[in-house]
Structure 1
Amino acid sequence: MALSPTRRSTIKMMAAGAVSLVLPSLGAGRADAAVTALKQSIAEAAAKDKALSAFYRERNYKPVFVGKGDGRRRGALLKALAAAGDHGLPSKTYDAEGLKAAMKAAKTPGDRGRVEVEAATRMLDFADHMRSGVLVPRSIDSSLVMDVPRYDRASTIDAFARSNPAAFLKKMAPRKAEYVRLQKEKLRLEKLLGKGGWGDKVQAKSLKPGQSGAVVVQLRNRLIRMRYMRKSATQTYDNNIQSAVQKFQINHGLSPDGVAGGSTIAQINQGVQDRLQQVLVAMERQRWNSRPLEKNHIWVNIPDFHVDIMKNGKSTFRSRVVVGKNTSDRRTPEFSDTMEFMIINPSWYVPRSIVTKEYLPLLKRNSGAAGQLQIIGRNGKPVSRGSINFAQYNAKNFPYSMKQPPSKGNALGLVKFMFPNKHNIYLHDTPSKSLFGRESRAFSHGCIRVHKPFDFAYALLANQEKNPESFFQTALQTRRERRVDLREPLPVHIAYYTAWVDAKGQAHYRNDVYNRDARIFTALNRAGVSLRSVAS
């Protein structure tokens, strides 16, 4: 939807009180009757909404928007609703123009009462969407298990009625730098969309330094439009193009070899619309997680395949990770918790689902299969495999559990990092290191494997041990399982952002590894959120 260059002036006119309700001069008796009729209308219109009904009853049905002294509130609301699209919200849901027209047309007490409640309803919808998101995450994907706060509607409108209206509505947006940076990227992409995007796609499967010709020109032009290199007339894949490709690869989670291979070409050929969708979804996710993050926390971004220890907004430790495979029973969920301890030389207590789905069928064919694992009876002690007739059991009645004692070959490696949660997700070492060399790293059963687990442990222990490396290695060399509590437990956030903008203003994009963003954008689109282009 292309916006007129006069859009901002239109919003300003609306905010300046372009809506003035017609309040006829009446005698005392007729004025009292009009007030009574207005209150009755408000009561009737609000009756279907418990929160609004309670709010207006508490204030004896005094209006918030349609009274003689309510012009500032009307203007502030109309301005906020008209600018809802700037936040990637469904503008048509709030219909600022329709509300403005209804306010102008409201002549009778009955009309004014109905418009009053309609304005309050739209304000509450807008505030709810801005603070907590348009969508309910779990209704989109069962893996979206984060808790999103929803605010009490009666308290919200009561606070609005008591506050500076413009300032109140402005504070509804997430007060996080990440959100503001995404909003700027959104506007940049909308302007690009209005100019026709990034031009022709690169019509090649791959390109490498030294090549020349029309397809190299396509690559050059696209990188220039994307702001990865300055204007150039070269038709050869020279050092400038190679450097630009490397910068692009870094910002898109690709191996920065400067060669435009298949995965790099695929990312370069993504359109402005595709990136804009990612930004809109990221803004919605920011609204789901609108509370400011703690100064010190652990951050795992699933599509980025990395874990960071964040201190005062900066990463002090970073490692590659492997996350859950893209199947319904293995995808890593999104949630927040608190890391409380680590276990050095851990045992692996095999999850019941893995025991019954993967190992029991093997044991039926060969009782000696998976010999690295112990069969554990109900009393918690190992049971001899030779005493068990595995053929008589199925997934429902198998009475045993399975355990792998501490060892270098243990599935959890030599250390795991625990933030107890109902999803049974944690971070851990792994004996399988080869997967960390891949660009896309979704292979686990759901838990998060850490490429540099010892360094991760040292960083966590630095706050409580003079020599964290020596402390850790001493415990490790005992080959006995040991729990080490963190004196300062750290919040852990397992997130899913395929788009973000760093503090330097550089946009980063990743693949939608679980197809979650696609489902979220589809739902946003159904709710009324759409792509738009802005004339610059």
Structure 2
Amino acid sequence: MTRSPTRRLTLKMMAAGAASFVLPNFGAGQANAAVTALKQSIAEAAARDEALSAFYRERNYKPVFVGNGDGRRRGALLKALASSGDHGLPTKAYDADGLKAAMKAARTPSDQGRVEVQAAQRFLDYADHMRSGVLNPRSVDSSLVMDVPRYDRASTIDAFSKSNPAAFLKKMAPRKAEYVRLQKEKMNLEKLLGKGGWGEKIQAKSLKPGQSGGAVVQLRNRMIRMGYMRKSASQTYDAAIQSAVQQFQVNHGLAPDGVAGASTIAQINTDVQERLQQVLVAMERQRWNSRPTEKKHVWVNIPDFHVDIMNNGKSTFRSRVVVGKNTSDRRTPEFSDTMEFMVINPSWYVPRSIVTKEYLPLLKRNKGAAGQLQIIGSNGRPVNRANINFAQYNERNFPYSMKQPPSKGNALGLVKFMFPNKYNIYLHDTPSKSLFGRESRAFSHGCVRVHKPFDFAYALLANQEKDPEGFFQGVLRTKQERRVDLREPLPVHIVYYTAWVDAKGRAHYRDDVYNRDARIFAGLSRAGVSLRSVAS
């Protein structure tokens, strides 16, 4: 049987074996026909994707992944897709093996055009996931209100087509030290998972120094496997085990007393799989927040119940905080803004939701309830509550607001720190100090209460006052409300990390207080992300 010129042409195009489009030494008419067929196929395949259609149209449908000289670009993409699991991405969604097979199987210009667009789509999915995350946070939880940068698809593939492909793909991952450290912890956990985890769990409700027996041996062995102590044959809860437990407690947000109480044992008994899930979620969050963090900023990590002022990667101020209670209307949202001023001796303007849901029912039963609060009319002036028939109002039509004047008993305490935002969230003092002594501190209406608010104020004023403490205390003594602008407004990031690795390489874990991580991991699982174990 005699092969047609078109058949001979397509066989020669596949000589390289990986969707290489090499024009043979046939006549110009035949070559032009092949090129035209390839371009037409690309145009048809890309038509349903507006960004790709515009990209290929702009370059007159010249291919990126098939054709002479594109082996390096194809290879870089296939390698990146195949290793996407190293970043906790949904490897199966990119199907590197399937794409490679499709490239090899492409026999005609039409086939190659379709696989060209298929490769471009896989590239753009990978690029979007790597730079901005697999999930849209708002679709996972309405409290995830951070703004995630999304990149223009046409511009992305255009830049890739003009770049060193391997270098371009490598730079897509978040270029933050925190991300690299999390990735290393992920690999460590995957190796541990391949070895069977941290061993036998502790079969005891609590343990303390001086005890001995099988449960102590279980504790010792898990501390060794977790890297908190060297190998030991001790069967007694000795100083080495106590020191290991203390460091473990520090890294898990527990009181570092060296006693393995119920909460400590619960954390020690947590499976490797659960820790790996936390790390995968933290890496996704890093992709959502891939923009470089400012050299100086305020950092509030909700599950850690702390606020820090970070300067060049180091904490220069740290305080415990109380965050929103775990109910649908009180959880503290995640977002970023800029702190512009503080208010010393603040009045508390009670949020509408609290006025109508909490105080109005009390006032209906007793006009004298919440006597520390003023009832404010539409003209902004106090109204005598004795003249109000509260029974006639409900949540929708209550016409008054409520305000608490400056005082030590004010719900906001003696200072609040403002970064005006549509969520009405800010940091503030509180007269209720007892809650700061608890390990888990989710009790507020959503705002962030600061344990050391005066020290926080001094740290914020240090750049603009010679004597920050003296200035602050002087204003405080007036007992008059006063706004103090920050000459250098400071970025504020309210975040939610249950897993992170510090600069010394120590992994830290916290409880998923709002169950957000669980929802995020469920979303990642649906997208194709899975846990994996690695043989060392």
Fold-level similarity (TM above 0.5):
yes
In the alignment, the residues of structure 1 paired with residue 299 and residue 48 of structure 2 have an alpha-carbon distance, to the nearest angstrom, of: 43
CA shift digits 1:222-260 (9 cap, x unpaired)? 000000011011111111111100000000000000000
The one-letter amino acid paired with 2:20 is: L
**Per the alignment, in what secondary structure is the counterpart of residue 38 of structure 2?**
helix
In the alignment, the residues of structure 1 paired with residue 273 and residue 17 of structure 2 have an alpha-carbon distance, to the nearest angstrom, of: 35
The one-letter amino acid paired with 1:19 is: A
The one-letter amino acid paired with 1:439 is: E
In the alignment, the residues of structure 2 paired with residue 320 and residue 163 of structure 1 have an alpha-carbon distance, to the nearest angstrom, of: 47
CA shift digits 1:498-527 (9 cap, x unpaired)? 000000000000000000000000000000
**Per the alignment, in what secondary structure is the counterpart of residue 167 of structure 1?**
helix
Q: Which residue of structure 2 lines up, in the alignment, with residue 11 of structure 1?
A: none
User: Equivalences for 1:281-320 in 2 at 5 Å?
Assistant: 281-320=281-320
In the alignment, the residues of structure 2 paired with residue 80 and residue 301 of structure 1 have an alpha-carbon distance, to the nearest angstrom, of: 32
Q: Which residue of structure 2 lines up, in the alignment, with residue 400 of structure 1?
A: 400
1:220 is the counterpart of 2:220: yes
User: Equivalences for 1:82-231 in 2 at 5 Å?
Assistant: 82-231=82-231
User: Equivalences for 1:404-423 in 2 at 5 Å?
Assistant: 404-423=404-423
In the alignment, the residues of structure 2 paired with residue 388 and residue 458 of structure 1 have an alpha-carbon distance, to the nearest angstrom, of: 43
Q: Which residue of structure 2 lines up, in the alignment, with residue 21 of structure 1?
A: 20
CA gap 1:381/1:22 in 2 versus in 1, 3 angstroms: closer
In the alignment, the residues of structure 2 paired with residue 124 and residue 486 of structure 1 have an alpha-carbon distance, to the nearest angstrom, of: 42
The one-letter amino acid paired with 2:18 is: V
**Per the alignment, in what secondary structure is the counterpart of residue 440 of structure 1?**
coil
Q: Which residue of structure 2 lines up, in the alignment, with residue 3 of structure 1?
A: none
TM-score by length of 2: 0.96
In the alignment, the residues of structure 1 paired with residue 255 and residue 174 of structure 2 have an alpha-carbon distance, to the nearest angstrom, of: 33
Q: Which residue of structure 2 lines up, in the alignment, with residue 272 of structure 1?
A: 272
Q: Which residue of structure 2 lines up, in the alignment, with residue 526 of structure 1?
A: 526
**Per the alignment, in what secondary structure is the counterpart of residue 534 of structure 1?**
coil
Conserved? CA contact 1:174–1:287, under 8 Å: yes
Q: CA deviation at 1:24?
A: 6.2
In the alignment, the residues of structure 1 paired with residue 37 and residue 474 of structure 2 have an alpha-carbon distance, to the nearest angstrom, of: 81
Q: CA deviation at 1:315?
A: 0.3
In the alignment, the residues of structure 1 paired with residue 398 and residue 40 of structure 2 have an alpha-carbon distance, to the nearest angstrom, of: 67
Conserved? CA contact 2:23–2:31, under 8 Å: no
In the alignment, the residues of structure 1 paired with residue 47 and residue 20 of structure 2 have an alpha-carbon distance, to the nearest angstrom, of: 24
Q: Which residue of structure 2 lines up, in the alignment, with residue 8 of structure 1?
A: none
Structure 1: which 4+ aligned runs deviate by more than 3 Å? Answer: 17-20
Q: Which residue of structure 1 lines up, in the alignment, with residue 75 of structure 2?
A: 75
The one-letter amino acid paired with 2:356 is: T
In the alignment, the residues of structure 2 paired with residue 447 and residue 131 of structure 1 have an alpha-carbon distance, to the nearest angstrom, of: 30
**Per the alignment, in what secondary structure is the counterpart of residue 369 of structure 1?**
coil
Conserved? CA contact 1:322–1:443, under 8 Å: yes
CA shift digits 1:406-448 (9 cap, x unpaired)? 0000000000000000000000000000000000000000000
The one-letter amino acid paired with 1:228 is: Y
The one-letter amino acid paired with 1:166 is: A
Q: Which residue of structure 1 lines up, in the alignment, with residue 341 of structure 2?
A: 341
Q: Which residue of structure 2 lines up, in the alignment, with residue 5 of structure 1?
A: none
In the alignment, the residues of structure 1 paired with residue 324 and residue 438 of structure 2 have an alpha-carbon distance, to the nearest angstrom, of: 14
Q: Which residue of structure 2 lines up, in the alignment, with residue 515 of structure 1?
A: 515
**Per the alignment, in what secondary structure is the counterpart of residue 55 of structure 2?**
helix
Conserved? CA contact 1:295–1:311, under 8 Å: yes
Conserved? CA contact 1:207–1:260, under 8 Å: yes
Identity of aligned residues (%): 85
The one-letter amino acid paired with 2:384 is: S
Conserved? CA contact 1:23–1:107, under 8 Å: no
In the alignment, the residues of structure 1 paired with residue 238 and residue 476 of structure 2 have an alpha-carbon distance, to the nearest angstrom, of: 50
Q: CA deviation at 1:18?
A: 8.0
Say what the alpha-carbon RMSD is for the aligned residues.
0.9
In the alignment, the residues of structure 1 paired with residue 257 and residue 307 of structure 2 have an alpha-carbon distance, to the nearest angstrom, of: 23
**Per the alignment, in what secondary structure is the counterpart of residue 183 of structure 2?**
helix
1:37 is the counterpart of 2:51: no
In the alignment, the residues of structure 1 paired with residue 21 and residue 283 of structure 2 have an alpha-carbon distance, to the nearest angstrom, of: 39
TM-score by length of 1: 0.96
Q: Which residue of structure 2 lines up, in the alignment, with residue 256 of structure 1?
A: 256
Q: CA deviation at 1:23?
A: 3.9
The one-letter amino acid paired with 1:438 is: R
**Per the alignment, in what secondary structure is the counterpart of residue 236 of structure 2?**
coil
In the alignment, the residues of structure 2 paired with residue 478 and residue 249 of structure 1 have an alpha-carbon distance, to the nearest angstrom, of: 43
**Per the alignment, in what secondary structure is the counterpart of residue 40 of structure 2?**
helix
In the alignment, the residues of structure 2 paired with residue 382 and residue 531 of structure 1 have an alpha-carbon distance, to the nearest angstrom, of: 60
Q: Which residue of structure 2 lines up, in the alignment, with residue 454 of structure 1?
A: 454
Conserved? CA contact 2:295–2:313, under 8 Å: yes
CA shift digits 1:3-46 (9 cap, x unpaired)? xxxxxxxxxxxxxx983636462432211100000000000000
In the alignment, the residues of structure 2 paired with residue 22 and residue 463 of structure 1 have an alpha-carbon distance, to the nearest angstrom, of: 63
Q: Which residue of structure 1 lines up, in the alignment, with residue 494 of structure 2?
A: 494
Conserved? CA contact 2:132–2:290, under 8 Å: yes
Q: Which residue of structure 2 lines up, in the alignment, with residue 467 of structure 1?
A: 467
Conserved? CA contact 1:301–1:495, under 8 Å: yes
In the alignment, the residues of structure 1 paired with residue 153 and residue 267 of structure 2 have an alpha-carbon distance, to the nearest angstrom, of: 43
In the alignment, the residues of structure 2 paired with residue 363 and residue 36 of structure 1 have an alpha-carbon distance, to the nearest angstrom, of: 80
The one-letter amino acid paired with 1:21 is: S
Conserved? CA contact 1:21–1:106, under 8 Å: no
Conserved? CA contact 1:18–1:75, under 8 Å: no
Q: CA deviation at 1:107?
A: 1.5
CA gap 1:18/1:230 in 2 versus in 1, 3 angstroms: farther
Conserved? CA contact 1:278–1:498, under 8 Å: yes
The one-letter amino acid paired with 1:188 is: N
Q: Which residue of structure 2 lines up, in the alignment, with residue 13 of structure 1?
A: none
Q: CA deviation at 1:349?
A: 0.1
**Range moving further from structure 2, 100-109 or 277-286:** 100-109
1:66 is the counterpart of 2:63: no
Conserved? CA contact 2:21–2:66, under 8 Å: no
CA shift digits 1:179-235 (9 cap, x unpaired)? 000000000000000000000110111111111100100000000000001101111
In the alignment, the residues of structure 2 paired with residue 230 and residue 27 of structure 1 have an alpha-carbon distance, to the nearest angstrom, of: 74
Q: Which residue of structure 2 lines up, in the alignment, with residue 236 of structure 1?
A: 236
The one-letter amino acid paired with 1:301 is: N
Conserved? CA contact 1:19–1:75, under 8 Å: no
Conserved? CA contact 1:21–1:107, under 8 Å: no
**Per the alignment, in what secondary structure is the counterpart of residue 342 of structure 2?**
strand
Unaligned 5+ runs, structure 2: 1-15
Q: CA deviation at 1:480?
A: 0.2
Q: CA deviation at 1:528?
A: 0.1
Q: Which residue of structure 1 lines up, in the alignment, with residue 8 of structure 2?
A: none
The one-letter amino acid paired with 1:83 is: S
Q: CA deviation at 1:476?
A: 0.0
